[in-house]
Amino acid sequence: MAKKEKAIDAYIAKSADFAKPILLHIRELVHKACPDVEEKMKWSFPHFDYKGEMMCSMAAFKQHAVFGFWKASLMKDPVLVENAKSEVAMGHLGRLTSLKDLPSDKKILAWIKEAMTLTDKGIKLVKTKPTEKKELVVPDHFKKALSKNKKAAATFNKFPPSHKKEYVQWITEAKTEETRNSRMATALEWMAEGKTRLWKYERK
């Protein structure tokens, strides 16, 4: 039997009463299916590693517990795959509030062994990169104001996207037209002087 991590003992002991039997049972099944498992605390909740790779994890909250697999998206069970796609939570089995919410031991043991096989075969989880950054939308009234001030327009066009966004957000978030016009006038003045929106806070 693999060594049990004291930090995980403490985590379970501090968990809500409803969660303790769930966490203990999951832990027992992981050790049963994977004698070479390595327990670790990562991101403040229990993880189970196999051959140096993350395999599965569990966590307890105030009203529910969760259990999930690192490579769930590569596993055969459609429910695991679907839940892995949404990435709405760490757990791929939904909210666990009692042992009754867990699938059968047979099914969980099979999942753990499948997760081990993926690691044994060297199959890696490839995290897809986020899609291209959303292009900044400059409102027409902003463009019109810039067209009347060449110096401000030149500065704005040279700005990196982050500086452009600071000015656009500041003006579009104005709650009244009066405030918006006032901010626009100030923005034009500052940009004509080559200043960023947050120039007052920049180190000299």
* Domains of the chain, start order: 6-120 (3.90.1150.200), 140-201 (no CATH)
Region 76-100: mean pLDDT is 73
* pLDDT at position 68 over 70: yes
pLDDT by residue (tens digit) across 114-134? Answer: 999 999 998 887 665 555 556
DSSP the chain: -PPPPHHHHHHHHHS-TTHHHHHHHHHHHHHHH-TT-EEEEETTEEEEEETTEEEEEEEE-SS-EEEEETTGGGSS-HHHHHHHHH-SSS-SS--B-SGGGS--HHHHHHHHHHHHHHHHTTPPP-PPPPPPPPPPPPPHHHHHHHHT-HHHHHHHHHS-HHHHHHHHHHHHT-SSHHHHHHHHHHHHHHHHTT--TTGGGS--
Q: What is the pTM of this model?
A: 0.59
* pLDDT at position 34 over 90: yes
Give me the pLDDT at residue 40, please.
Answer: 93
pLDDT by residue (tens digit) across 166-197? Answer: 999 999 888 898 999 999 999 999 999 999 99
